[in-house]
Amino acid sequence: MASSKPITGAILTGDLIGSTKAGAAAIEATMSVLADTFSEMDRWPGATPSRFARYRGDGWQAALSPQGRALRASLYVIARLRAADTGLATRIGIGLGEISDSGPLTEAHGQAFEDSGHALDSLGRGERLALGGTGPISLHQAIIALVDERTTRWSREQAEAMALYLAPESQTLASIAAQLQLSTQAIHYRLTGAGYQAIGTAIIQWEVSFTAFRERT
């Protein structure tokens, strides 16, 4: 059987923070939220199947395409976990490059997988996001560091609103308020506290930069 043609995408490799002390029930609940989160991202416009996979007890991995969606997806994962309040958060290493577009993710390999793993291993205490490898990432590292620091201060309520805001479908404050059954003023207060305007600008510029990079190559 002929092998499938690789696609250009992103690999997210993660592990849970503090899982040893949290216990098996918290780990299972968190992994369930992660699986549901990637299933939702599979329905985003233009997405390919993420093939979310769990490994080594508290580790996980997923594939994303297009690769410019890596930042949005990573923040969405962080927001969903914080909103679910399972007691556990995750660290995420991002790798960019060619990915096989079929088959189990646990059997795939390549530079994007290696870069993602190295990025995860490079994370220091208190850090949650890292971008590995080479390519169009000179300023992307700075963006990662800035948004990473901001997410550590999200409350559960802020994360709940941010998860809806981060979905690529057009969302207004009114539509988010309706989904959470809150006033528009309350949603504005939560999103402002979470830094949604600066984060939204960073995501858009990140995604535009990867589109421009593809057009030059």
List the domain boundaries for the chain.
7-216
Confidence of residue 211 (pLDDT cuts 50, 70, 90): low
Q: How many CA atoms lie within 13 A of 113 on its CB side?
A: 11
Confidence of residue 140 (pLDDT cuts 50, 70, 90): confident
Class of domain 7-216: alpha beta
Mean pLDDT of 53-67: 89
Written as six digits, the tokens of 17 are: 């923070």
Q: What is the mean pLDDT of the chain?
A: 88
Confidence of residue 215 (pLDDT cuts 50, 70, 90): very low
For 104-126, what is each residue's pLDDT tens digit? Answer: 777 777 788 889 999 999 999 88
- The whole-number pLDDT of residue 171 equals 83
Q: State percent of the chain over pLDDT 70.
A: 90
Give dist(CA 15, CA 147) in Å, integer. 19
User: Before 45, cis peptide (omega within 30)?
Assistant: no
Of the candidates 87, 14, 26, which has an alpha carbon nearest to the alpha carbon of residue 54? Answer: 14
Asked if residue 134 lies in contact with residue 32, where contact means CB atoms within 8 angstroms, the answer is no
Written as six digits, the tokens of 193 are: 């506290």
For 157-204, what is each residue's pLDDT tens digit? Answer: 999 999 999 998 878 999 999 999 999 999 999 999 999 999 999 999
Residue 188, burial from CB neighbour count under 10 angstroms (0-12, 13-18, 19+):
middle
